[in-house]
Structure 1
């Protein structure tokens, strides 16, 4: 039987938005022992298994689609690259680059073999495809005790039985075919790595894959020694794929080599967390006390898998589960080699096109790098529970708006914190305020280009429009260039920081919706700039070529 793939939008257009960068390689392995090096191929295998888990989590037809595409003869390497980058059949702006999979039977009749929704399902593959939001909410409300906890857990999927009733299934069962071999590989790697704190994490994470209890291993991950030359992130973490409730966690995997020199420089910021919290421009009701400073490390990526679709992650602050955070805080991982690739291949060309010529020269890598650091630190700032209903999480109250609001909070509160550190001299000797604000303005276009259906892009669009309304950014209709208005930007950033933190802490979803609807837009002047970048072929982001798989280092 013949098989056909039809494209809804030119795949070439999607792929042209990304530039390849080389990731990993022998230059990052100098500090590794022989055992560390021997563990690397085992860990890469874990990453590949985690990738298979996320393919299943993304949407219900994803495994069949991947199997079909990777089974085509002759191979379609361009289509394979599309699936590798996006993890499914939708590119940026949720545009389909695979419209349908059709099959011709022996009688010459063409049938749809795999139905592909026009856009990614809001529920991912964590819930039945026919579920309605209210049905889920009513079901959860009917439960008590452990059954209710499971239904609202990060680590359970929701199924429907033969009678139509909903029930919960632990990840350990749902993904058993991948988690069991991944657990075995983690145990093997634990016996090889030189750092005992890393070995402990690999062992307890291996156990968690079987038990479905992730708290202890998350704590062990947070306590991996800063002297460990390897760093591994492996497990269910981010909630973006569950767009309906932002609850279910997607599996991801990162293998990194520690960058000791940069880590030493950046670690000094962690001690300032509570001080930054205390200086936020909000009433004390919205400020947390007794914050755990996040562990901060800088790494160079060697390999990744799972929930790592483009745009490439340049930093992350984990875990998201409040239980281990209460015990041991969180850990900020800054991926330096990925950030350098983004800056050179994407941000600098964007700045040259969208900023006034006199401001382009102030766009610096160190300003970009340090704001990413502050973005991740700022995820810990502000309210995580409602100020008047202290047992209700902000995430729960805001539902589908939470991710975009949280990314906006991290961006703008991080920029506000940069201003504090510049004034007290902590950031002396590096980029000045102009560099931070002008680099931030250029970086806004980088994020918005991801599309406002994506949390980071929507969050950045809201910031951009608010700051422009407040006079912090200005647009020249003759040159079609943007600039930072230095005598207004600081007040605009403070105002937006206050607005977002209060919206989160109050948890009034209707007011949040009003804010998102008003500011989460693409204005005509921004659209003109985005179209110009697209027409000139300026890439949106980068994608990895994992050298560690090719250059013989493992």
Structure 2
């Protein structure tokens, strides 16, 4: 077998680990203008994708262009690149089998910092900056670059660094703002278009939070998550989502926003570790139509934004629950995992509603607990914990969300799913997330939780049957104690303590490795991958003339 055939075979094997799901909705209730806007927004998404490729690694665009221009063109190699948003496997961190001389490991700082910059060099440079520049250096919206002549570091705002792509994206957003009927959505599109040019995102974040409950289109666009910056968890990556709002489901889950303060009041920590600036979180249930940018596998099933502490303090946050993605994950991944790893007598407690509701509570729980360190000189938890922040924050949201489920069932705010359904579904989902690998924040966060709860007896493992089970008697205390430990570590901002905690609990046990191996041998997918129906839906559900069709296709190929 030739080397090219081996590469193709390896790529096919990796793609098979991600089950395809078709995502889309009936657009017949969308207006003519809304359908045109969807086409324009897909065009913006293509631009956001290119920005993120630059942010991920400086060689990404060149490699992608090489894949696109190769003859014969390997469509699966292109598909895999798009799934991972670069040449490194998201699960084990290794370089993917592309026929190129690529770096073995991805740069920890992405392309937000010079690849040869050390943490010591950054710290020395940072100490000599003006106060305003210090804020930018550790903030979300500036890259750190190196002057090739003087070798000195300097700051460059995103608005300049990605000017060629942001200018086009801004123009299309302004065109879209003129077409949409919902005034709040129009206001957000205009203000976000301006933010792309000014590099000031605060006002448009507030406009995003205030998009009307009546808007059929829910859009998220901009620099948000910090997972790509594995050096300091400081720099935000561009991502993009178009969703169709599920009005009925959104109305059903409003009660969870109202219970946020009650959960905060009952957190098992001293009062100084509780969030003093908690704001009710609007919750929107949606079906995903399209995504791009920082949306590599594993696919997001929900998100709670913004992450900018200033925006949260001023306007709170918004929780977006992506129902059709969750349904795909549950059917294609979670159920098959449980059938092989969970005790037979507890499989009856596996339930989609428990999966859906815990994801919802996970995202709500990002608002709970301290966002600033305790003491006379508070700093953001993110800036103190740096590279450990993302994993410990994901673990916090998971376990605090489960703690909230217990509380809400006790006080009657929730009547279903049952506590047993929450616990067993959470157990199966822990094994699901660990399969993403502990190089990824969600996988490492779940590994920490699984090991901690096993140690405290909340989970048990039967060597004879090779299956896990929940000890329903010990589980509540294990959940409460882990919630307490993580929230206190975050409030203290003690990076060394967090590092030791992760070293102790962030290693995959042999019993877990054995389970993961059995799942792999059974060829159960790791996650899902999207096939978006939006282009076909728009053209089929809205009778365009030939010119409009050509215009739509040209938008999508920008």
Shorter-chain-normalised TM-score: which range?
over 0.9
More off after superposition, 257-266 vs 7-16: 7-16
Confirm whether residue 447 of structure 1 aligns to residue 433 of structure 2. Answer: yes
Tell me the CA shift for residue 397 of structure 1.
0.9
Q: Write the distance in 1 (CA, Å) between the matches of 2:5 and 2:222.
A: 33
Tell me the CA shift for residue 150 of structure 1.
2.2
Cα displacement string for residues 143-180 of structure 1 (whole angstroms, at most 9, x for unaligned residues): 11322222222100011112100000010011011100
- Whether the 8 Å contact between 2:37 and 2:176 is mirrored in structure 1 is yes
- Whether the 8 Å contact between 2:8 and 2:77 is mirrored in structure 1 is no
Match of 2:501 among 505, 515, 518: 515
| Match of residue 128 from structure 1 | 114
Q: Is the alpha carbon distance of 1:543 and 1:244 closer, same or farther for their aligned partners in structure 2, counting shifts above 3 Å?
A: same
More off after superposition, 31-40 vs 120-129: 31-40
Cα displacement string for residues 178-207 of structure 1 (whole angstroms, at most 9, x for unaligned residues): 100000000011111111100000000000
Alignment of 1:402-441 (within 5 A): 402-428=389-415, 430-441=416-427
Tell me the CA shift for residue 90 of structure 1.
1.1
Match of 2:352 among 362, 365, 383: 365
Secondary structure of 2:473 counterpart: helix
- Whether the 8 Å contact between 1:127 and 1:157 is mirrored in structure 2 is yes
- Whether the 8 Å contact between 2:424 and 2:470 is mirrored in structure 1 is yes
Q: Is the alpha carbon distance of 1:96 and 1:471 closer, same or farther for their aligned partners in structure 2, counting shifts above 3 Å?
A: same
| Match of residue 81 from structure 1 | 79
Secondary structure of 1:157 counterpart: strand
5+ residue gaps in structure 2? 543-558
Q: Is the alpha carbon distance of 1:8 and 1:147 closer, same or farther for their aligned partners in structure 2, counting shifts above 3 Å?
A: farther
Cα displacement string for residues 441-491 of structure 1 (whole angstroms, at most 9, x for unaligned residues): 000011000000100000000000000000000000011000000000011
- Whether the 8 Å contact between 2:192 and 2:204 is mirrored in structure 1 is yes
| Match of residue 332 from structure 2 | 345
Cα displacement string for residues 476-520 of structure 1 (whole angstroms, at most 9, x for unaligned residues): 001100000000001100010011111111111111111000000
Confirm whether residue 550 of structure 1 aligns to residue 528 of structure 2. Answer: no
Tell me the CA shift for residue 289 of structure 1.
2.0
Confirm whether residue 11 of structure 1 aligns to residue 11 of structure 2. Answer: yes
Q: Write the distance in 2 (CA, Å) between the matches of 1:417 and 1:389.
A: 30
- Whether the 8 Å contact between 2:138 and 2:383 is mirrored in structure 1 is no
Alignment of 1:233-244 (within 5 A): 233-244=220-231
Tell me the CA shift for residue 357 of structure 1.
0.9
- Whether the 8 Å contact between 1:8 and 1:96 is mirrored in structure 2 is no
Match of 2:519 among 516, 528, 533: 533
Q: Write the distance in 2 (CA, Å) between the matches of 1:178 and 1:144.
A: 30
Q: Write the distance in 2 (CA, Å) between the matches of 1:356 and 1:147.
A: 55
| Match of residue 272 from structure 2 | 285
- Whether the 8 Å contact between 2:277 and 2:313 is mirrored in structure 1 is no
Q: Write the distance in 1 (CA, Å) between the matches of 2:93 and 2:7.
A: 14
- Whether the 8 Å contact between 2:77 and 2:98 is mirrored in structure 1 is no
Secondary structure of 1:93 counterpart: coil
Cα displacement string for residues 113-144 of structure 1 (whole angstroms, at most 9, x for unaligned residues): xx522121101000111110111111111111
Secondary structure of 1:416 counterpart: helix
Cα displacement string for residues 67-113 of structure 1 (whole angstroms, at most 9, x for unaligned residues): 10111111101101101100101112112213552xxxxxxxxxxxx
| Match of residue 95 from structure 2 | 96
Confirm whether residue 487 of structure 1 aligns to residue 462 of structure 2. Answer: no
5+ residue gaps in structure 1? 102-114
- Whether the 8 Å contact between 1:274 and 1:289 is mirrored in structure 2 is no
Q: Is the alpha carbon distance of 1:128 and 1:508 closer, same or farther for their aligned partners in structure 2, counting shifts above 3 Å?
A: same
Q: Write the distance in 2 (CA, Å) between the matches of 1:309 and 1:316.
A: 14
Cα displacement string for residues 306-342 of structure 1 (whole angstroms, at most 9, x for unaligned residues): 0000110000000000111111100000000000000
Tell me the CA shift for residue 7 of structure 1.
4.5
State the aligned residue count: 536
Tell me the CA shift for residue 31 of structure 1.
3.6
| Match of residue 547 from structure 2 | none
Tell me the CA shift for residue 13 of structure 1.
2.7
| Match of residue 380 from structure 2 | 393
| Match of residue 36 from structure 2 | 38
Secondary structure of 1:526 counterpart: helix
- Whether the 8 Å contact between 1:49 and 1:182 is mirrored in structure 2 is yes
Secondary structure of 1:234 counterpart: strand
RMSD: 1.5
Q: Write the distance in 1 (CA, Å) between the matches of 2:350 and 2:307.
A: 32
Alignment of 1:466-481 (within 5 A): 466-481=452-467
More off after superposition, 511-520 vs 288-297: 288-297
Displaced runs of 4 or more, over 6 A:
3-6
| Match of residue 160 from structure 1 | 146
- Whether the 8 Å contact between 1:281 and 1:497 is mirrored in structure 2 is yes
Q: Write the distance in 2 (CA, Å) between the matches of 1:389 and 1:262.
A: 43
Tell me the CA shift for residue 30 of structure 1.
4.0
More off after superposition, 456-465 vs 151-160: 151-160
Secondary structure of 1:21 counterpart: strand
Q: Write the distance in 1 (CA, Å) between the matches of 2:536 and 2:95.
A: 31
Secondary structure of 1:299 counterpart: strand
Secondary structure of 2:259 counterpart: helix
More off after superposition, 209-218 vs 4-13: 4-13
Cα displacement string for residues 337-360 of structure 1 (whole angstroms, at most 9, x for unaligned residues): 000000000001101010011111
| Match of residue 212 from structure 2 | 225
Q: Write the distance in 1 (CA, Å) between the matches of 2:12 and 2:505.
A: 32
Cα displacement string for residues 392-414 of structure 1 (whole angstroms, at most 9, x for unaligned residues): 11111111100000000000000
Match of 2:104 among 118, 126, 129: 118
Match of 2:296 among 299, 309, 324: 309
State TM-score, norm by structure 1: 0.95
State TM-score, norm by structure 2: 0.94
